[in-house]
């Protein structure tokens, strides 16, 4: 499974930065040399032949950054650009997302933290991704399932289900159609607004974790 996962991540590494870094850190902390060697070998096996035939055009990729950013990126940086700011706002949005992750983990029960960490790492990978398309925002969707699972069986479950529908189903479509809704059809392919999806997703997950914990505490107090 580690080899399969590393191979999948190597296909689009730019949208799995936080997740991949956490996996490497976990292997290093556990001193899992065999796991690190296996992951490295699987990635090398998949990418080496293509890199030898067509070396990765780093200079061309970096040179095309401005053109790509003006067209179709769905990243935190593009969102900050559309909001009228740049590096400072981008940094603030990343820090806010990190705080939401910490809040979600801190508010969830120990048995849920593995699932929360997985969803949070996928979401944070999107938040810090330097290059992402609209369809890459699907990595924010697991947080919706985690949110519903956190509230399962509690009085908050119907409310959380409604929140999940709004945040993870309705809002992304609104953001996808943001510029046409404003009448700016010429900007239809500029995906900056969708950069908000993982940020809102992580904030929603943190809120649900807190509400679910509070509901469980009230239920325990009544019992």
The predicted structure's pLDDT at residue 143: 92
On whether residue 62 sits in a domain, the answer given is no
- Return the CA Rg of the chain: 19
The boundaries of the domain holding residue 121 are 68-222
For residue range 105-144, list pLDDT tens digits in order: 998 888 889 999 999 999 999 999 988 989 999 999 999 9
Number of folded domains that form the chain: 2
Please tell me the distance from the alpha carbon of residue 56 to that of residue 79, in angstroms, as a whole number. Answer: 27
Please tell me the distance from the alpha carbon of residue 205 to that of residue 217, in angstroms, as a whole number. Answer: 18
User: b/e per residue, 123-134, with b = 16+ CB within 10 A?
Assistant: bbbbbbbebbeb
Q: Is 33 exposed, middle or buried (0-12, 13-18, 19+ CB in 10 A)?
A: exposed
Residues 196 and 162 in one domain: yes
Q: Which two tokens stand for residue 132?
A: 């992402």
Q: Is 109 helix (H, G, I), strand (E, B) or coil?
A: coil
Other C-beta atoms within 10 Å of 203: how many? 21
Residues 82 and 153 in one domain: yes
On whether residue 24 sits in a domain, the answer given is yes
Lowest mean pLDDT across 31-45, 63-77, 92-106: 63-77
On whether residue 59 sits in a domain, the answer given is no
């Amino acid at each position: 499974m580690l080899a399969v996962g590393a191979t999948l991540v190597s296909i689009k590494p730019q949208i799995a930065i936080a997740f991949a870094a956490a996996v490497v850190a976990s292997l290093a902390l556990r001193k899992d040399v065999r796991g690190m060697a296996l992951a490295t070998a699987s990635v090398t096996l998949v990418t080496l032949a293509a890199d030898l035939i067509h070396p990765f055009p780093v200079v061309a990729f970096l040179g095309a950054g401005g053109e790509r950013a003006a067209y179709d990126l769905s990243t935190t940086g593009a969102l900050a650009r559309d909001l009228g700011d740049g590096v400072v706002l981008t940094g603030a949005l990343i820090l806010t997302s990190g705080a939401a992750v910490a809040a979600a983990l801190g508010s969830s029960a120990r048995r849920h933290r593995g699932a929360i960490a997985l969803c949070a790492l996928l979401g944070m990978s999107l938040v810090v991704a330097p290059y992402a398309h609209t369809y890459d925002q699907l990595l924010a969707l697991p947080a919706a399932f985690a949110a519903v699972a956190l509230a399962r069986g509690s009085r908050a479950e119907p409310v959380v289900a409604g929140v999940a529908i709004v945040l993870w189903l309705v809002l992304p479509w609104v953001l996808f159609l943001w510029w046409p809704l404003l009448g700016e059809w010429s900007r239809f392919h500029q995906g900056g607004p969708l950069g908000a999806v993982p940020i809102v997703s992580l904030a929603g997950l943190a809120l649900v974790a807190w509400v679910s914990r509070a509901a469980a505490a009230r239920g325990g107090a009544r019992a």
